[in-house]
């Protein structure tokens, strides 16, 4: 069954008369692009963590009405929440990362600027670009049917990101690095399993990796590097691989 994200304020009525008004961008996507017609049934997702099965009973030129047939509560993301921190790569790669992060139960993506990142200043990330990223997240959420939208933080510097990380007392961190490491990712995750924490921040570098000064900055913030293996991964591969491993080891 097709799923679409819709704003909670679109609902009207109560009980057997409860319905949803489909208008604006939602109407264009549901009725014009996906060609849903009177009599068709599908699910709409809301930010309250529920999925409503609805059936269109009226369709006009710019608006449709659908009656609520049934509802179900969607499962919440399990803890620890995955906070995927990504040194901004080329925009097409970052969009792929966003899509896959939604599918892999990532709670929040935190883009940041590093010395080797493709994008190194806030001025390069326009409001239009940021809104496009949010639409990608919404589209991926509709496809997966997860119960909440993945959060997208505003881009910041690595220093600002680490400062915010240190303010979260219930968080742990992972710093994968292609250089010399004393621990493997497997060993670090094994150690983390013995601890209690609410979120896990995973820091992924750009194609050029982190330079020596940034490695020292991580260490000063009590984040020692761990290796993901002998091969150097592309940023999008590293993000998908790391999120998958964390999900397997700590969430399922």
* Structure-token pair, residue 44: 């709409």
CA dihedral 139, 29, 50, 107 (to 10 degrees): 20
Residue 248 has pLDDT above 90, yes or no: yes
- CB-based burial, 148-158: b 16+ in 10 Å, e otherwise: bebebeebbeb
Q: How confident is the model at residue 50 (pLDDT cuts 50, 70, 90)?
A: confident
Where do the structural domains in the chain lie, given as residue ranges? 3-73, 81-251
Topology (CATH) of 81-251: Alpha/beta knot (3.40.1280)
Helix (H/G/I), strand (E/B), else coil: 35? coil
pLDDT in tens, 132-186: 999 999 989 888 878 788 999 999 999 999 999 998 889 999 999 888 888 899 9
How crowded is residue 219: how many other Cβ atoms within 10 Å of its Cβ? Answer: 12
pLDDT at 252: 65
216, 115 contact by CB (below 8 A): no
* Structure-token pair, residue 137: 């997240």
**Weakest mean pLDDT among 39-43, 46-50, 84-88:** 46-50
- Please provide residue 46's backbone torsions phi and psi, each rounded to the nearest 5 degrees: -130, 170
pLDDT in tens, 195-243: 999 999 999 998 878 999 999 999 999 999 999 988 888 999 999 999 9
The structural architecture, per CATH, of the domain 3-73 is Beta Barrel (2.40)
Residue 170: is it exposed, middle or buried by C-beta count within 10 angstroms (0-12/13-18/19+)? Answer: exposed
pLDDT at 181: 86
Mean pLDDT across the chain? 92
Q: How confident is the model at residue 114 (pLDDT cuts 50, 70, 90)?
A: very high
């Amino acid at each position: 069954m097709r799923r679409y994200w819709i704003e909670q304020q679109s609902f009207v009525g109560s009980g057997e008369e409860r319905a949803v008004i489909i208008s604006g961008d939602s109407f264009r996507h549901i009725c014009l692009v996906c060609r849903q017609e009177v009599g068709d049934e599908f699910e709409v997702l809301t930010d309250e963590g529920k999925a409503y099965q609805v059936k269109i009973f009226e369709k006009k030129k710019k608006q449709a009405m659908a009656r609520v047939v049934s509802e179900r509560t969607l499962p919440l993301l399990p803890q620890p929440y995955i906070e995927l921190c990504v040194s901004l790569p080329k925009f097409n790669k970052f969009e792929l990362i966003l899509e896959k992060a939604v599918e892999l139960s990532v709670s929040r993506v935190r883009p940041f600027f590093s010395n080797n990142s493709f994008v190194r200043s806030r001025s390069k990330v326009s409001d239009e670009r940021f809104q496009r990223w949010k639409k990608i997240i919404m589209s991926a959420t509709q496809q997966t049917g997860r119960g909440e939208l993945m959060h997208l933080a505003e881009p910041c510097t690595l220093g600002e990101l680490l400062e915010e990380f240190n303010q979260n007392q219930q968080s742990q961190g992972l710093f994968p690095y292609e250089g010399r490491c004393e621990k493997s990712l497997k060993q670090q995750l094994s150690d983390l399993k013995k601890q209690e924490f609410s979120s896990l921040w995973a820091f992924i570098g750009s194609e050029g990796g982190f330079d020596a000064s940034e490695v020292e900055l991580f260490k000063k913030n009590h984040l020692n590097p761990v290796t993901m293996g002998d091969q150097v991964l592309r940023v999008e591969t590293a993000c998908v691989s790391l999120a998958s491993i964390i999900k397997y080891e700590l969430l399922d």
